[in-house]
Amino acid sequence: MNAEGLKALVRQIAKEKELDVQVIKRAIEESIIAASRRVLSQYKDARAELNPETGELHLWVKKTVVQDVTNPRTMISLRDARKISKEVQIGDEIEVNEDPSALGHIAAQNMRQILAQRLRDEERKKIVEEWKGRVNEVVTATVQRIENDGSVIVSLGKVEGILPRKEIPPTTKYRPNDRLKALVWKVDPDARGPIIILSRTHPDLVIRLFEQEVPEIADGTVKIVRIAREPGARTKIAVESTSPEVDAVGACVGIRGSRVQMIVHELDNEKIDVVPYSQKIEEFVAHALVPAQIASVKVIPEERKAIVTVKEGNLSLAIGKRGQNAKLAAKLTGLTLDIHAEGEEKKLASANQEEIQQRYLLDFLSQKGVTEEQVLEKLKEHNIKSVDDLTKVDVDTLAEIFDSDLEWAQELVDDARSYLEQLQAMLKRTFSDEGN
DSSP symbols for 310-347: EPTT-HHHHH-GGGHHHHHHHHHHTSEEEEEETTHHHH
d(CA 263, CA 217): 14
Query: Which percentage of the chain shows pLDDT scores above 90?
Result: 44
Domains of the chain by range and CATH?
3-130 (3.30.1480.10), 135-201 (2.40.50.140), 211-277 (3.30.300.20), 293-436 (3.30.300.20)
* Sheet with 305-310, edge to edge strand ranges: 294-300, 305-310, 336-341
Q: What is the pLDDT of residues 106-128, one digit of tens each?
A: 667 777 787 888 888 888 888 89
Q: DSSP state, 197? A: E
User: CA–CA separation, 52 vs 21, rounded Å?
Assistant: 7
Alpha helices in 351-405 (DSSP H): 353-367, 372-381, 387-391, 395-401
- What average pLDDT is seen over the chain? 85
pLDDT band at 303 (very low <50, low <70, confident <90, very high): confident
Q: How many CB atoms lie within 10 A of CB 331?
A: 17
What are the b/e assignments for 237-250, b being 16+ CB within 10 Å? bbbebeeeeeebbe
Tell me what pLDDT residue 348 has.
47
Determine the pLDDT at residue 395: 86
First to last CA, the chain: 93
- The structure's pTM equals 0.68
Contact of 78 with 39, CB cutoff 8 Å: no
Euclidean distance between CA atoms 83 and 175, whole angstroms: 69
**Interatomic CA distance for residues 207 and 239, integer angstroms:** 11
Q: Check residue 362 and give its pLDDT.
A: 77
Least confident of 49-58, 165-174, 228-237: 49-58
Q: What residues pair up with 398 in beta bridges, in sequence order? A: none
pLDDT, position 435: 43
Question: Average pLDDT of 275-297?
Answer: 95
Q: What's the Cα-to-Cα distance from 171 to each of 93, 198, 231, 232, 322, rounded to whole Å? A: 70, 17, 9, 6, 15
Give Cα separations from 18 to 22, 26, 66, 77, 194 (angstroms).
Answer: 12, 15, 47, 45, 18
For residue 429, is pLDDT > 80?
A: no
Please, are residues 325 and 234 in contact by the beta-carbon 8 Å criterion?
A: yes
pLDDT digits (tens, 9 = 90+) for 137-184: 999 999 999 999 999 999 998 899 999 999 999 889 999 999 999 999
Q: Which of 329, 146, 323, 358 is nearest to 229 (CA)?
A: 329
Confidence of residue 372 (pLDDT cuts 50, 70, 90): low
